[in-house]
Amino acid sequence: MPDDVTPDAAAAPDGVRAGHDWRRDVGLLRRREIGLVFGSRLVSDLGSGIAPIALAFGVLGLPGADAGDLGLVLFAAAVPRVVFMLLGGVVADRLDRGRLMVTAEVLAGLAQLLAGVLLLTGTASILWLCVLAAVNGTAFSLFYPAYAGLVPSLVADPGDLQSVNALLRLSTNVAGILGTALGGLLVATIGAGPALVVDSFTFLLSATLIWLLGERARGRVEGAGSALADLRDGWREFTARRWVWGVVLLFSFMNIGFSAAVGVVGPVRALDSWDGAPTWALLLACFSLGTVTGVVVALRVRPARPLLVAMCVAPVMALPIIALAPPWPVAVVAVLAFAAGVASDVFEVLWITALQNNIPAEALSRVSSYDYLGSLALVPIGLAVSGWAVATYGVEATMSACAALCLTSAIGLLDPQVRALRAGRADGLDAAAA
């Protein structure tokens, strides 16, 4: 960890606050619009904590299914996130972001409901689960850019932006802990199908809360040009800052390893070496518990150079994947999963806040879509290949390759722009460019 973390407000550059009262941060939730978004993320991410376990063991429980089939279903979900993400960014910067988010949540909820019913009735097939996974992935590609552009528009004081981002991550993380534990319990007791049905209703409740935002969730309707022109403008904003596209490029490799390890290779390791869903749920819950701690760190400590700190902690996310390769004892993997969770959320909050402080608001959804697309463009390939790699080279070799990919994030520390980016809103929103 670098030594330029500001211990108090007096040491923070350019008026950036650090270590302020947590009661003030929590008090931001009393603002109606922030409270609604917080609640929406809480219930939706509760279901999203259930879904990976339910889907993984639902697929693996089908007659004749193996890791390759699970990788295929996850591939089907990941492809639309890549193909339609840029379109989602354009639409989110032009239309009513709230309505777009509601539509996406309802679509995802219906897809999960049908998948759960198919598993529950014994009529599920890999083909149908792939189709529904693709629908879910499409819904996400509409939701994410709208959500990324919405949050800063709800924060009146730029000094509160990191706190709001951290609080929203807190909702995700608390829901992840509860959802992962609930997912393991549901799969172990009543099965994967009913667990996905429960997940579907959390999407619908989330959609209701977002709908209540009303006019506060509108996008850039007036004066919008063509979709192609909007894409070009978004690309120009994205490539104007090397610290943006450079970090995204590194995370494109890191996310291949992390997604393959967590989505495919990890559940297979849990089945081969331990007791399957319960142990895997425990490890995911430890990661989620770590993310809650990461939020606390992000609330209390404000780095003078936030991106430098973010890139220093990012390689920690590789540690539990390294430990899963042999594998090491469950207790050790659990501790490392916790540490990875802390690192994940410190990075996430600092990265999102840096984008929001340095990208013009009218282009933020599009830049966020380029960020997501670049970071995850290669993930579908990793998911599809990981099942084959396990069958060909074994779990240990495949998991080791995943760990090596996760460590590529450390290269970002070589970039002077990454090391130099200062906290707070850039002067003219382009001080860090070029």
pLDDT of the residue at 4: 38
Q: Does pLDDT of 17 surpass 50?
A: no
Ordered DSSP codes for 287-303: HHHHHHHHHHHHHH-EE
> If DSSP codes are grouped into helix, strand and coil, which group holds residue 116?
helix
Are 429 and 358 in contact by the 8 Å Cβ rule? The answer is yes
Q: Give CA torsion, residues 241, 245, 247, 250, to 10 deg.
A: -150
Query: pTM of the predicted model, to two decimals?
Result: 0.72
Beta bridge partners of 302: 6
Q: Rounded to the nearest 5 degrees, what angle is found at the Cα of 157, between the Cα atoms of 151 and 163? A: 60
Q: Does pLDDT of 8 surpass 80?
A: no
Q: Which residue has the tokens 């009913």?
A: 194
pLDDT level of residue 377 (50, 70, 90 thresholds): confident
Torsion-angle region of residue 85: left (phi > 0), alpha (psi -120 to 50) or beta? Answer: alpha
Which of 15-24, 86-95, 414-423 has the largest mean confidence? 414-423
> If DSSP codes are grouped into helix, strand and coil, which group holds residue 164?
helix
Q: Does pLDDT of 244 surpass 70?
A: yes
Distance separating alpha carbons of residues 6 and 28, to the nearest angstrom: 23
Q: Does pLDDT of 7 surpass 70?
A: no
Lowest mean pLDDT among 31-35, 100-104, 293-297: 31-35
Distances (CA, A) of 249 to 36, 60, 140, 222, 244: 33, 32, 21, 33, 9
pLDDT of the residue at 215: 63
Distances (CA, A) of 318 to 159, 322, 344: 32, 6, 10
- H or E element, residue 4: none
Are 177 and 168 in contact by the 8 Å Cβ rule? The answer is no
- Summarize pLDDT for 120-175 with one digit per residue, the tens: 888 888 899 999 999 999 999 888 888 877 887 777 676 777 888 888 888 887 88
Q: Biggest alpha carbon distance in the chain?
A: 63
Q: Give CA torsion, residues 25, 30, 31, 37, to 10 deg.
A: 80
pLDDT of the residue at 272: 85
Distance separating alpha carbons of residues 367 and 365, to the nearest angstrom: 6
* Nearby residues of 334 by Cβ (< 8 Å), 6 or more positions away: 282, 283, 286
- Summarize pLDDT for 190-224 with one digit per residue, the tens: 888 888 998 899 999 999 998 888 765 555 544 45
Question: Looking at per-residue confidence, does 321 or 384 come out higher?
Answer: 321
Q: Does pLDDT of 414 surpass 60?
A: yes
- H or E element, residue 241: none
CA-based radius of gyration for the chain? 21
> If DSSP codes are grouped into helix, strand and coil, which group holds residue 302?
strand
Question: Looking at per-residue confidence, does 231 or 21 come out higher?
Answer: 231
Q: Give the pair of three-digit tokens for residue 111.
A: 């897809």
pLDDT of the residue at 279: 87
The rounded percent of the chain whose pLDDT value lies above 70 is 88
First-residue to last-residue Cα distance in the chain = 26
Q: Rounded to the nearest 5 degrees, what angle is found at the Cα of 150, between the Cα atoms of 144 and 151? A: 100
Average pLDDT of span 297-302 = 83
- H or E element, residue 388: helix 379-393
Q: Does pLDDT of 405 surpass 90?
A: yes
Rounded mean pLDDT of the chain? Answer: 82
- Summarize pLDDT for 325-360 with one digit per residue, the tens: 988 999 999 999 999 999 998 999 999 888 888 888
pLDDT level of residue 104 (50, 70, 90 thresholds): very high
Distance separating alpha carbons of residues 420 and 59, to the nearest angstrom: 46
User: In the chain, what are the domains?
Assistant: 21-429 (1.20.1250.20)
